[in-house]
Amino acid sequence: MKKRTLSGYLFYIPFGFLYILFLIYPLIQGFRMSFYEWDLFSEPTFIGLANFTKMFNDPTFWETLWHTLYFVILTVPILVILGFLIALLLNSKIYFQKLFRVLFFFPYILSITIVCSIWVFMYQPNFGIISKIFQAVGINYRGWLTNPTTAMPAIALTTIWWTLGFNVILYLAGLQEISPSIYEAATIDGANSFQKTFFIAVPLLKRTHSLVLVLQTIASLQIFGQVYIMTGGGPNGKTRVLIQYIYDQGFRYFRMGYAQAMALFFFVIMFIVSIVQFRLTLGTGGEKS
């Protein structure tokens, strides 16, 4: 028995080493450096809480945080609700069911560069597909990515198209775990499709709802690549998000201590969201059984 236990620990050693090296150690170092002023080239100088004081008094920090939250508001509700509804449709008996499942999931396997390039081309005001559609119905289209009002919704639309398939797959997996006998019993009792969806599927998928909601919230809070490729934070900084601001401060202006302070604040937000996920999972753990 001891040999088995020892062999089990031996298998954990490589994972534990990599976990400490690439997660725990950088986290500790980042926390430590948030109390220093450092430009990557000179010796770090301890400045206490000055970076955090600067952060809370920095209007650009709050502006980029709001842009990040705005992106979350634009994407998360649509991705959760639409993902569930499409999963319901694909879980029913329809023609070309497998083909539709592949088509919905296909964008998710594309790289972010390809996805953003496709949509930047579609958003082009002169020759893009969206421009042609608007012109066909007599609407003047000036380009969403160059308009401060529509730039962030345009990036959100791109993200929804790209990541929707992942949520659909998660919901499909949850729906297929529901026993058909439950639906059959509801049909015998006279329940229609609407009632079976909202009184059977929705309650029994509480775990899946929690998982999708939290995963999507975390992913949306980490928005960076789409903004960096499609607008670079423009126009007029209206799409600049928190991670981009952290990146700029650290690797463009070499204010590593300040960037670490903001990154630590961002980590706390991620940690709180993860705790919420854990509590929701525990709170619904016994309902399915």
Per-domain residue ranges of the chain: 23-57+254-284, 70-243
In the predicted structure, residue 4 carries a pLDDT above the cut 70: no
In the predicted structure, residue 288 carries a pLDDT above the cut 60: no
Give me the pLDDT at residue 281, please: 62
Q: Tens digit of pLDDT for each residue in 55-92?
A: 999 999 999 999 999 999 999 999 999 999 999 989 88
- Using CA atoms, how far apart are residues 229 and 217, in angstroms rounded to an integer? 21
Average pLDDT over residues 12-30: 87
Give me the pLDDT at residue 203, please: 87
Q: Which CATH class is domain 70-243?
A: mainly alpha
Give me the pLDDT at residue 287, please: 45
- Lookup result for tokens 């049909």: 187
Give me the pLDDT at residue 100, please: 85
- Res. 253 pLDDT band, cuts 50 70 90: very high
Q: Tens digit of pLDDT for each residue in 189-210?
A: 888 878 888 888 888 898 898 8
Residues linked to residue 27 through DSSP beta bridges, in sequence order: none
- Res. 184 pLDDT band, cuts 50 70 90: confident
In the predicted structure, residue 115 carries a pLDDT above the cut 80: yes
Average pLDDT over residues 129-137: 86
Q: At what angle do helices 151-175 and 97-105 cross, to 10 degrees?
A: 140
Which residues, at least 6 apart from 130, have a Cβ–Cβ distance to it below 8 Å?
Answer: 122, 123, 141, 144
Enumerate the H helices of 149-252 as residue ranges. Answer: 151-175, 180-188, 193-196, 202-204, 206-221, 225-230, 242-247
Number of other CB atoms surrounding residue 193 within 10 Å: 11
In the predicted structure, residue 286 carries a pLDDT above the cut 70: no
- Res. 27 pLDDT band, cuts 50 70 90: confident
- Res. 170 pLDDT band, cuts 50 70 90: very high
The string of DSSP letters for 130-175 reads HHHHHHHTT-----STTSTTTHHHHHHHHHHHHHHHHHHHHHHHHH
